[in-house]
Structure 1
């Protein structure tokens, strides 16, 4: 049985190990030979990271495994091309090919999500939100969004972020009795503060927002509605979650996470706002588009339009629901009593643990996840997701097994105080990049 690589001090010689028969290289690494010859140190680190991903349970809710096709686009000659501007209106010559790549990505995104307009250039989800604010707001405007302690993102008003410094944010939260969004509070705060925009979206809320209710509240106070759908956008693409597109003025998203594309951002909006959104991305907040990433987004949108991805998205949700129930049986207090999405959050205080200690115990067992704030000033909890393990082919039986392993790691059961060997045995049966995809 193979042993996990250390997280620090990985030498190039030890990490490269091309002869190792169990190294999870697969199709993604066919172009690695040139890098190995030119820079074996970095090549070794790439392989070390591939090993790390393949030898543990990757349960971070914001992560996934892209396809070899997406990775191929990311490593393509499109990385060489400067392409400030938009197709047909670039500030550089020689853009006839990348224009086609961007037009393809835009058309695929519009078709996939039923949107009137799409901008595929944002470098990240935060960049997409920044551009949405720039398109609709002015510094000092009031914005209503989920409060950070309740599950809001940094771009929803953190004082450490541009959002909290440039705009006046008011935070709404969730009900104490159910953990669900308190729409009465949202309506009352909107009436009191008359925000220029309302943001619906979260990094740790495991239920579907009621986009129609948010639209109604926004209309009542004359506010724009911005949906930050960074987490559910992949489920939306696969028909496993409701879409904000018919309700929101602007939808911001990421193209990684459940969507399983390259790391990057996406904006969908109404046609009437297309010009404002495009100008807010370029030239206001960004320079040249990363055309290799734009092409990789097009690949991901194409993959997401297939029946196989629809089945995948529904399996992600089925896996999360099973995992939530099984974790509750292990003593983890699952917030809202379950999940509608790929996200599960839970409180481990009943196990006499704090979240930081719990995460460290899980990491020692090869189980990688995050911690997050829990609503109403309670302790931090665990946040995990099922997107990556579902991509690996795991289903409900494996979710039940994962919950048992997670419980054992939290309690310190097993040899040497944890189930590391059992985790390794499980993940070896589901390599993220097998030799033949």
Structure 2
């Protein structure tokens, strides 16, 4: 499946969806209607949220099964509940596909989300690097042998470790040490940013900060950085200071799977632990996953009960299906198109005088600085939504408007690429966005002061944009052949 517009939904699948909705409607019709309306809304909007995509019918249907009914704490062949033989099959297949797809030594497919995957990774590193040596030093056979005084000492050790991650306004994620997030509370943390002139990662500056701070963990990866990362250099820095390198590739996992990112830009050969979501550019179900070297595998395997409860067996099954899809040659074509289309979108903005963070992109993300339009990110996001363009506001480096109002809008190409959009369509999308923002002005508060939230769109602009968007979308239907009753 290279894109959904090229693959008609089989009549059998269409019938399955309609019958499922009938069953749901018999119990709670409002849920059935909301589900139907979501398809209507997604079909009618230009979805440019970088973290969203469209899963295949096979992936979606896999999640709606009785595998949801089974508890299966533990690991394959070592469950705390009886009767898990089918869950063992599902989890084994998902892990096998993940290892083969990414060339990883070990894969753990139980995490429910990206933050769960990161928490598993963090605690696995702490268990491997701190708890293990600590227990050995004290001669304990296991945690059950510890006295309460020992536990207090161990908790102090585990809770006093250092993490160095990418700052939120430079493009990092909440879970990379942002203070209000659990990651910023469980570690003594510092953050690295980007060059103030170029917006690009400065590896020498990261190295200098790592040597000064001496972290136990260095986190690489991003959620709003529109460039590639040299993970070989990040591993060199980690090795120089004795840190574990953890890479969060949730956003760009599809580009790794599709071999758009190879060599020094592929995190798997260079990191000790790699985390990811299974949706976004990987185009699977909403969930998480951890890849690791054999050295860290025993610690990661303790994700349950260390961090997680019962795995979602129906979602693990859908992960297996999505990963099987990603191993097909068509997915590599899709992944390359995602990157090519991001370049087309960026070029479309630049040719129309818009300002982009780092001046462009070489992944799937375009980060538009909307301050040049006299708007905050919140105003721009809202005006675009009124016009049928779905984006999300995002901080830019040293953002004067903070993380709530922001000065940027983040855009991504995975979803519309799935629908079959190409160079010309993304250039047209850039034109529509620039037109909306050019014709949007900030509002004022009730006291007459400039507002960071209210806005006004020029007469007829939103309607004109929606009509133009509909023309593009009609050429690339979402789930063609799927007609709901």
What corresponds to 1:428 in structure 2? 474
**CA shift for structure 1 position 435:** 1.1
Which of 408, 416, 421 pairs up with 2:460?
A: 416
Q: TM-score scaled to structure 2, two decimals?
A: 0.83
Q: How far apart are the structure 2 equivalents of 1:410 and 1:303? A: 38
Q: Is 1:326 paired with 2:372?
A: no
Q: Is 1:247 paired with 2:270?
A: yes
What corresponds to 2:89 in structure 1? 100
Which of 255, 277, 293 pairs up with 2:300?
A: 277
| Further displaced range: 408-417 or 248-257 | 408-417
Q: Is 1:313 paired with 2:335?
A: yes
For the 8 Å contact 1:206–1:345, the answer to whether it is kept is yes
What corresponds to 2:153 in structure 1? none
For the 8 Å contact 1:28–1:433, the answer to whether it is kept is no
**CA shift for structure 1 position 172:** 0.5
Deviations 1:336-386, CA, capped at 9 Å, x for gaps: 111111110011222222211111110011000011111133552010100
Q: How far apart are the structure 1 equivalents of 2:399 and 2:341? A: 29
| Further displaced range: 247-256 or 87-96 | 87-96
Query: When the two structures are aligned, how many residues end up with a matched partner?
Result: 412
Q: How far apart are the structure 2 equivalents of 1:275 and 1:92? A: 21
What corresponds to 1:71 in structure 2? 60
For the 8 Å contact 1:351–1:411, the answer to whether it is kept is yes
**CA shift for structure 1 position 427:** 1.4
**What secondary structure, in the 3-state scheme, does the structure 1 residue paired with 2:159 have?**
coil
Q: How far apart are the structure 2 equivalents of 1:148 and 1:310? A: 30
**What secondary structure, in the 3-state scheme, does the structure 1 residue paired with 2:309 have?**
coil
For the 8 Å contact 2:25–2:32, the answer to whether it is kept is yes
Q: TM-score scaled to structure 1, two decimals?
A: 0.91
What corresponds to 1:349 in structure 2? 371
Q: Is 1:176 paired with 2:196?
A: yes
**What secondary structure, in the 3-state scheme, does the structure 1 residue paired with 2:431 have?**
helix
**What secondary structure, in the 3-state scheme, does the structure 1 residue paired with 2:361 have?**
coil
Q: Is 1:112 paired with 2:101?
A: yes
What corresponds to 1:225 in structure 2? 245
What corresponds to 1:7 in structure 2? none
Quote the RMSD (CA, aligned, Å). Answer: 1.6
Q: How far apart are the structure 1 equivalents of 2:313 and 2:94? A: 11
What corresponds to 1:304 in structure 2? 326
For the 8 Å contact 1:28–1:68, the answer to whether it is kept is no
Counterpart mapping for 1:1-20 below 5 A:
none
Q: How far apart are the structure 2 equivalents of 1:302 and 1:266? A: 15
Q: Is 1:391 paired with 2:411?
A: no
Counterpart mapping for 1:21-170 below 5 A:
26=14, 29-30=17-18, 31-137=20-126, 138-170=158-190
Which of 363, 366, 369 pairs up with 2:388?
A: 366
**CA shift for structure 1 position 26:** 4.7
What corresponds to 1:256 in structure 2? 279
Q: How far apart are the structure 2 equivalents of 1:431 and 1:170? A: 46
Q: Is 1:381 paired with 2:425?
A: no
**CA shift for structure 1 position 159:** 2.1
For the 8 Å contact 1:27–1:433, the answer to whether it is kept is no
For the 8 Å contact 1:151–1:203, the answer to whether it is kept is yes
Deviations 1:262-289, CA, capped at 9 Å, x for gaps: 000010000111110111x110111110
For the 8 Å contact 1:218–1:224, the answer to whether it is kept is yes
**What secondary structure, in the 3-state scheme, does the structure 2 residue paired with 1:272 have?**
coil
Q: How far apart are the structure 1 equivalents of 2:458 and 2:254? A: 37
For the 8 Å contact 2:164–2:177, the answer to whether it is kept is no
Q: How far apart are the structure 1 equivalents of 2:334 and 2:482? A: 19
**CA shift for structure 1 position 415:** 5.9
Q: How far apart are the structure 2 equivalents of 1:327 and 1:50? A: 29
**What secondary structure, in the 3-state scheme, does the structure 2 residue paired with 1:271 have?**
coil
Q: How far apart are the structure 2 equivalents of 1:41 and 1:96? A: 36
For the 8 Å contact 2:247–2:273, the answer to whether it is kept is yes
| Further displaced range: 208-217 or 376-385 | 376-385
**What secondary structure, in the 3-state scheme, does the structure 2 residue paired with 1:267 have?**
strand
**CA shift for structure 1 position 148:** 1.8
Task: Give the direction of change, closer, same or farther, for the CA distance of 1:188–1:230 in structure 2 (3 Å limit).
Answer: same
For the 8 Å contact 1:156–1:169, the answer to whether it is kept is no
For the 8 Å contact 1:328–1:334, the answer to whether it is kept is yes
Q: How far apart are the structure 2 equivalents of 1:126 and 1:342? A: 21
